[in-house]
Structure 1
Amino acid sequence: MKALKFYFSIGLLISFLTSYSQSGIESLLSAGLEDANRFTNAYTKPGSDAVIYGLSNGWYNTAKVKSLGGFEISIIGGISQIRENNTSFALNENDYNALRFESGPAIQQVGTVFGQNSPDVRMNIIEANQNIATLTLPQGLASENIDYLPNLMLQGSVGLLFSTELKLRFLPEVETKDVTAQFYGAGLQHEFTNWIPGFKVLPIAISGFVGYNKFESEYRFSEQSTLISGSNQSVVTDIDSWHYALVASTKLPVINFYGSIGTVSGSADTRLKGEYVINTGVSEVAGTSIVDPLRTTSSVDGFRATLGTKLTLAFFRLNIDYSFQEFNSLNVGINFGI
């Protein structure tokens, strides 16, 4: 999976998508659409949720907004933790119409997009007590010895009127033979303490923040399974992420501390696009051609708290923070501006 390692060099944004597309998950269509959709939703949900949370990282490093015309350019990088409970899920074969474990009990823990199956987990496709085919369940990122998600983005900030700061961020567009991806976001931060008499002279600032991110991508299949053929096959993902926060920080000359409490919400929509010809499968799908067969959706609405510190040296600033959320993250920012 050389491509997987390349895509990780540009951040977490297409990590779970890449694993999804290279897993051979389309082979599950041979078990029927209901079984394929049920498994795919459970397999991909942790990845979708992680990206939604990850997009909320690194928006701010102080509650003090910039004065009118002040600006800052930031390079923000970090890692998000993958917890053990996000690496597997309990698959109960009784919840499926045609999928049955080749061996072992009817309920087994199998890997998600973040996990792995060691040894491989094989499942039979059964119809009318006949074994139609056998497939191997997809592996996840742990099979590549990846136990965290990297994050990298560029961000620009500029001070506006009325103690407000505009932030814009993006990931340079990725376009290769197999992948097209783009990411952008915008946020507003407003400092409340500038409106409260007497607070301007205190060494603290308090502000409110709202930010929105959008991620769109397509991964085009370059290989096909023995059970499935077809044309124009790809995975298309559309993710929206919102972050609302109350931010507080000190206002000291060189070293400052900041923190925030807030929420993260968003949704992810991932679709298997193209034509899929089921060469071998249950009678519902065998010998048929299906267009855009799978769709998985995921949404989150969770709490987030951040603690960090920032070092200021003239026009150069360095900050580091840690965020407590469903996928805890450590972030570092290199900032230039006035």
Structure 2
Amino acid sequence: MKRIFTIILTIFAIIANNNLNAQNQNFENVLNGGTADANLYLKEFMNPVAYSIGNGLANGWYNTAKPHKTLGFDLSFNVNLATIPDVAKSFEFLESDYSTLQIDGPATSASLPTFAGGETTTELLINGTTQTIVAPSGIEEQLGDYPGPLAIPTPTIQLGIGIIKNTDLIIRYTPEITAGDFSFQSFGFGVKHDFKQWIPGMKLLPFDLSALAGYNNISTTYQIDETAGQFAEFNASATTVQAIISKKLLFFTPYAGVGVNIVRSNFALNGTYVVEENGETIELTDPLGFDFDGSGGPRFTVGFRLKFLWALALNVDYTIQKYNTLSVGFGINVR
């Protein structure tokens, strides 16, 4: 499973690295306009990445509403793909929001690509007319004929174990994995509890009904220049609270869930960077740092689990939320 994680993360690192290398000079030039404007611009640019990862983290917690018997367990590997909608491939650049960046020309606003967007030829002026740059382009053109919508994969390995009173304790953990200049680690925990048992008369109904609360956190680092102490950090967490219903039909179990997500994430560019500002060479230390918010909200999930060879299980589900998410999981399930 660790090899699968490494392959997935390496693919994403290569994609991101290609894009960042192609736009590295443009990002450095955006910094020339000052850290306040750079933080605002790059927050808009990176929003789809943060939202996709954050929404993906909130998924894959369950494949049935029925908790394990005491000491029953399941060990599963899941990949969650929170698709980036077309509306998130661009953002509206308004000159009035910036103090040193403006559009080269009479226009005072423009639609510019985010990380998930395409190419742009729009030029920006930095500090009036001291410097002109082409706004950073997105990754869409580099992907070419990429099949399907763009999504950032969020893989998880989790262990669920039955404890007492029809309750599961769920643990997610991924030790630090390094792929080139990119590193990743993750931790999370959750609780699933059958609340139907506490409602008089509901025990006789032919379905399972549970409540779930889960928290997941990831930390990623991208090493830019180790000798100069330059690196980027991205951290994200997702808390989800859901009600789940399922019905076992021999080896096939359909399930559905409804609830809410709380997603938080942040990005930081650390180290010392030399830039030109107002014709002078200056050093900036830890120039970028901003939080992403607003990507949580209500969610609805529908899916199924298929058991075979006694203990093996495959599950697939789709969640309608801020960034709609497809989840696919495979694991061992012992009641």
TM-score, normalised on structure 1?
0.86
Structure 1 residue 32: Cα displacement? 1.4
Cα distance, 1:148–1:139 mapped onto 2, change above 3 Å: same
Bigger Cα displacement from structure 2, 319-328 vs 11-20: 11-20
Matched, 1:71 2:73: yes
Counterparts of 2:66 and 2:223, CA distance in 1: 44
Partner of 2:208: 205
Residue 67 of structure 1 deviates from its aligned partner by 0.5
Q: Please state whether the residue corresponding to 2:189 is helix, strand or coil.
A: strand
2:328 and 2:272 mapped to 1: Cα distance?
43
Residue 307 of structure 2, aligned match among 298, 306, 312: 312
Percent identity over paired residues: 28
**Which residue of structure 2 lines up, in the alignment, with residue 61 of structure 1?**
63
Of 293-302 and 84-93, deviating more is 293-302
* C-alpha separation in 2, matches of 1:88 and 1:10: 25
Deviation at 1:320, TM superposition (A): 1.1
Give the structure 2 partner of residue 302 of structure 1.
297
Distance 1:296 1:114, change over 3 A: same
Alpha carbons of structure 1 residues 79 and 50: separation in structure 2 relative to 1, 3 Å: closer
Query: Superposition pairs for residues 1-338 of structure 1, below 5 Å?
Result: 9-10=8-9, 22=21, 23-24=23-24, 25-103=27-105, 105-118=107-120, 120-127=121-128, 131-145=129-143, 147-149=149-151, 150-222=153-225, 231-278=228-275, 280-282=276-278, 286-300=280-294, 301-313=296-308, 314-338=310-334
Q: Which amino acid aligns with 1:137?
A: A
C-alpha displacement of 1:318: 1.5
CA drift at 1:203? 2.2
Counterpart contact for 1:63–1:258, Cα < 8 Å: yes
Q: Secondary structure at the match of 2:278?
A: coil
Q: Following TM superposition, by how much is the alpha carbon of 1:133 offset from its aligned partner in structure 2, in angstroms?
A: 1.8
Alpha-carbon shift at residue 189 of structure 1 (Å): 0.4
- Post-superposition shift, 1:242? 0.4
| Contact 1:17–1:219, Cα closer than 8 Å, also in 2 | no
Q: 1:170 to 1:201 in 2, by over 3 A?
A: same
Q: Which runs of 5+ in 2 are unaligned?
A: none
Q: 2:58 and 2:236 mapped to 1: Cα distance? A: 12
User: What is the CA distance between 1:12 and its match in structure 2?
Assistant: 9.8
Measured after TM superposition, the shift of residue 31 of structure 1 is 0.8
CA–CA separation in structure 1 for the residues paired with 2:99 and 2:211: 50
Match for 1:55: what amino acid? L
Change (3 A) 1:236 1:47: same
Q: Which amino acid aligns with 1:10?
A: L
For the residue of structure 1 that corresponds to 2:59, the secondary structure is coil
Task: Give the drift of 1:155.
Answer: 1.5
Per the normalisation by structure 2, the TM-score is 0.87
User: Deviations along 1:20-56, whole A, 9 cap, x unmatched?
Assistant: 8544223311011221122112112232122111101
Per-residue deviation, residues 5-27 of structure 1 (Å, max 9, x unmatched): x9882399979976885442233
Name segments (4+ residues, structure 1) moved above 4 Å.
11-22
Query: Tell me, what secondary structure is at the counterpart of 2:74?
Result: strand
Which ranges of structure 1 fall in alignment gaps of 5 or more residues?
Answer: 1-5, 224-229
Q: How big is the alpha-carbon RMSD for the aligned residues of Structure 1 and Structure 2?
A: 2.6
How far did 1:295 drift?
A: 0.9
**1:91-117, Cα deviation, whole Å (9 max, x unpaired):** 122332222223572211101121122
Q: Tell me if structure 2 keeps the 8 A contact 1:13–1:215.
A: no
Distance 1:167 1:17 in 2: 31
Kept after mapping to 2: 8 A contact 1:166/1:187: yes
Seen in structure 2, the aligned counterparts of structure 1 residues 241 and 16 have a Cα distance that, compared at 3 Å, is: farther
